[in-house]
Structure 1
């Protein structure tokens, strides 16, 4: 039988496997069908290629350019995902499992692309936080910025998510402006290779932005320095070996780890049998035990319920697990497929042996179960196995041994404090979930367990129709956890991009900070032109363009008319003596919203023109009360520009309201959409 060669991609060329390869078996039949590794790769040249070609090309692009590239890549993959589904059956994954991996990865890339367009600037410098005034007069300022690292990101991924595991790392890496070398787990690397081929065939990636290693990494890690990043997903043991590499430690190479985890799910004290919450809890536990045959880093390994409800829980969950059809993953009737390999199956069985002395098996017999459409003795099949631990306080293995398959352990708790003590004995986890409708319970969980978890997932009858599930990391939220979970963090929107960038504190004059960050700061140079800024198109507006308006007197009649017209008759606007008793006002004062309205009247250009819409204002502050008789004027300055579509962009204006003494009485950011 001819084996399929799973290739690497290095320095712009596909490289076939070499002589010393590792064979890959079909998870369903147990038969070898592919081989990978053994190729002679020059890792020094791969790193140089990534840095000089991919890195340089990506850094010439803006964040928005990269975000558009990611969106186009995701859409391209979405049109070709059926081929990935077909390959994924060989990993033992059902179609539903494959959608978690493939559709989930594509969806993650789309979210990161959207975040890049909406939350990052159309430039090459990201401003992190607000400006800091470092001097009394405002001529010396500070600002934190983030810029791309100048090295390569080495992504070492696990076998269970050959597509999502790659794309969830690759999207923030490319958005940051950094090239990647991807190293998938060998058991499922053929799916990753197919996805990489698609992305390269799209022509959307700059040369050198993406390389693939389907064998070992050789001496690559020994060649990295402070500009490189290693991002790892896998076992705690392997993570420890990698992060202990003396060269990585000596060179202070960033190391991000997402490791195995003894995740827990807690049935809240209010979620008694017969309630929607109890049924929801059973449904979530069942799904996490059977999806991907339990091979998820976020799967529920410990099921923790009130002592009184443990029998009912075991009965309900055991029934659902017993009814789960196990079989060939391409059958429509199959609800749980195979593990990735017979080696993994053997590992799960060995872990069951370790858990045995502390537990009782209450559902699932690894030696006696039915498989539809496949030979259970040849493929990597196991039934869902539910264990019960009667004394979780005295137990150790149930809190430190993960059977990475369809295995979970039920244990009881006396009260919520006891439940949280059991949850935290996992030593740091990616996620813990709590099914409860009680806000006080949720708050106590957050305070007690937050420090041990990267994510806390609460669900109940209110949110269950729209919730995404205990085991679903979302690109908007951070994924990672302390302690045993690796101490790393991925995703989280723009937070995930920051792992591939350097945060730098810059200090200087307002003009210097404006030039670096592409955002106008108070005190920086202003330019007044002959034409009103609202008559100029997006491309004609420049950072620092300023309009100084005429002034308008605020009369007592204005204040009273505004109060009666709007219904805002707050005493500070209507009663002189009451206003004087207020420590903030010298007497009757103008409404803040009256000032905003008059300000708009002073700077708005009424004729039809390139300004399409006012979409909001932000950071509004009133600094000085305005008495009737005061004169109001406005300074309007182009602060920042961000393209939004092919026909218009967002212009952020710095707006200052000043009185006759030139004191600032109010300020805010005005957002307008302006035509190109």
Structure 2
């Protein structure tokens, strides 16, 4: 039997007399025990705040992103161990891949986004500077910095690895240490994963701790710099959220909880279209993957009146082919629920649904289990109900049987479908299978505010679509109302949950120093050498090159027009140009000005500038006519390392005319070799 330990304040602590037994979902035999009354929660919180937090905050966002990637690759090489342990949770190999591979993949996405979308520094900038005074001497900017506390992650039983890593990745990327508390039923898998991460030596001391068993009174000791992220039932979320200490100290509390997710078959679909088969496949997969123990699983199936019978028959056919049994067997397609208590809960909830709906597939008395005793293991069949009158139903729309249970119901028209969707009072995801864009738009406008994610799929996207039930790290995962009102993932949005947004005000020089990014109006630095002759390491923020002037002639304008084919009237017809409110007469092309600007600031010899990779935020501010002249100011705005050979330099470029008025402004991106 496994003794599932906790990792607290740098020490592994074994379970004690207060431990809870954990049974195999397959056999019902006790395989592990977890829980201890000896945890010093004050010491754990102090260890995270005083040791883990400072160590993480010393690292830049890029350092932490590289750390995440290294940890993910370390786990990838050892995932078979996690697979082998996970069978006793009732999960099949394909379920393991959702959990283990999905969690590792999520870490890799956050690692990549951290390098590409965050600075190699300690301050994340949220939006551009704001000019708060008339001359620009007083500016403001929103910045984000890591919370100086600890994140307490309370996870559900159904995803022992992904559930931890999808919270842990953005937390560590933000620079905040975490205390992870998995559900006891599957904590032995989580403990193995945490051991791997700690044994890798890749995480700073104090950045990760584990509670196997109960949290004790840990939440009673949290403050304004701490955060709680919870996944589980609505009842438990309400109890935790109501903790007086959390309320008094305004502790951040994010919740992802019960959800009556739904899938709608569009009014445009007929049995002979690709969307019909796609719909049936999606529903069957979401009912049976992880034995329906997914927070995103389809609980309600909405179908046009005329297609109820064809869809029921098609679903019954697919569900009848699902082999339920020991998940270690190659031909098993659905394993067991996680525990006997979970089986009892699912059956109790299914009986509530059955009071309003007829069971059409999945009778408990008739299904068989391959390779295991269905009475000892936590096995149930995929259970499909049909609710003929969803408008009169109540339990169908408010009862989640957290297993392979779903209810099909008819709708009359799209407004009716929207009304049924919204009866769930908030879900993590609703899907719509349709090849009609107008159907998608109407459902979006009528129902988007009730769902954290809307997933549309059809013949065009089906080959690449990831599925109704797959939260992706790029997109937010959460939902309003009974789904908890929280958000996780969503790329860098997920990182922001563990940072404080602060409005910083001051002079351009002060904002530049705080943000590690040159702000227009801040001091400029000149150097005797052209900045393009200086390496990435040598050029500094604010380093500025001022070019000589160049006159723009009518011949320049006409030559450019004929050479490029851009003979727009504003450049070629003086009378027509004067009739335009933007131009005094014929003017130079904007792209002619950019080309001449490059000629004014470029240094042509081979050097550390390897490539011009583009420009951002281009604006043409004032027209330039024949006889006018332009000059360029080129300033190093920001520097970002990209790999071991070169980094990106972002230059602020301003074009002035002969009257020192700004004619154009943009940001130039170059890749510069290191020195």
What residue in structure 2 maps to residue 45 of structure 1?
Answer: 43
Give the CA deviation at 1:274.
1.2
Q: Which moved more, 1:128-137 or 1:96-105?
A: 128-137
- Equivalents in 2 of 1:264, 1:143: separation in Å? 42
What residue in structure 2 maps to residue 294 of structure 1?
Answer: 292
Q: 1:382 aligns with which of 380, 383, 389?
A: 380
- Equivalents in 2 of 1:330, 1:420: separation in Å? 41
What residue in structure 1 maps to residue 506 of structure 2?
Answer: 508
Alpha-carbon contact 1:4-1:35 (below 8 Å) kept: yes
Could you say what secondary structure the match of 1:673 adopts? strand
Alpha-carbon contact 1:542-1:638 (below 8 Å) kept: yes
Q: How many residues align?
A: 674
Alpha-carbon contact 1:617-1:669 (below 8 Å) kept: yes
1:569-607 Cα distance to aligned partner (Å, 9 max, x none)? 000000000101111111000000000000000111111
Could you say what secondary structure the match of 2:640 adopts? strand
What residue in structure 2 maps to residue 114 of structure 1?
Answer: 112
- How large is the Cα RMSD of the aligned pairs? 0.5
Alpha-carbon contact 1:39-1:215 (below 8 Å) kept: no
- Equivalents in 1 of 2:313, 2:129: separation in Å? 59
Q: Does 1:101 align with 2:92?
A: no
- Equivalents in 1 of 2:320, 2:661: separation in Å? 75
What residue in structure 2 maps to residue 550 of structure 1?
Answer: 548
Aligned positions of 1:164-563 closer than 5 A? 164-563=162-561
1:156-180 Cα distance to aligned partner (Å, 9 max, x none)? 0000000000000000000000000
Give the CA deviation at 1:144.
0.3
Give the CA deviation at 1:367.
2.1
- Equivalents in 2 of 1:367, 1:130: separation in Å? 64
Q: Where has structure 1 moved over 3 Å in runs of 4 or more? A: none
Alpha-carbon contact 1:656-1:666 (below 8 Å) kept: yes
- Equivalents in 2 of 1:216, 1:421: separation in Å? 41
Q: TM-score, normalised by structure 2?
A: 1.00
Alpha-carbon contact 1:654-1:670 (below 8 Å) kept: yes
1:391-429 Cα distance to aligned partner (Å, 9 max, x none)? 000000000000000000000000000000000000100
Could you say what secondary structure the match of 2:126 adopts? strand
- Equivalents in 2 of 1:208, 1:642: separation in Å? 28
- Equivalents in 1 of 2:223, 2:37: separation in Å? 25
What residue in structure 2 maps to residue 629 of structure 1?
Answer: 627
What residue in structure 1 maps to residue 71 of structure 2?
Answer: 73
Could you say what secondary structure the match of 1:129 adopts? coil
Give the CA deviation at 1:196.
0.1
1:435-476 Cα distance to aligned partner (Å, 9 max, x none)? 011111111111111100100000000000000000000000
Give the CA deviation at 1:183.
0.2
The answer for unaligned runs of 5 or more in structure 1 is none
Could you say what secondary structure the match of 1:540 adopts? coil
- Equivalents in 2 of 1:442, 1:142: separation in Å? 41
Q: TM-score, normalised by structure 1?
A: 0.99
What residue in structure 1 maps to residue 662 of structure 2?
Answer: 664
Could you say what secondary structure the match of 2:571 adopts? helix
- Equivalents in 2 of 1:642, 1:89: separation in Å? 44
Q: 1:14 aligns with which of 9, 12, 15?
A: 12
Give the CA deviation at 1:38.
2.2
- Equivalents in 2 of 1:84, 1:363: separation in Å? 33
Give the CA deviation at 1:560.
0.3
- Equivalents in 2 of 1:57, 1:367: separation in Å? 57
- Equivalents in 2 of 1:507, 1:167: separation in Å? 36
Q: 2:87 aligns with which of 82, 86, 89?
A: 89
Alpha-carbon contact 1:649-1:675 (below 8 Å) kept: yes
Give the CA deviation at 1:124.
0.3
Q: 2:582 aligns with which of 577, 584, 603?
A: 584
- Equivalents in 1 of 2:113, 2:123: separation in Å? 16
Alpha-carbon contact 1:263-1:302 (below 8 Å) kept: yes
What residue in structure 2 maps to residue 127 of structure 1?
Answer: 125
Could you say what secondary structure the match of 1:656 adopts? strand
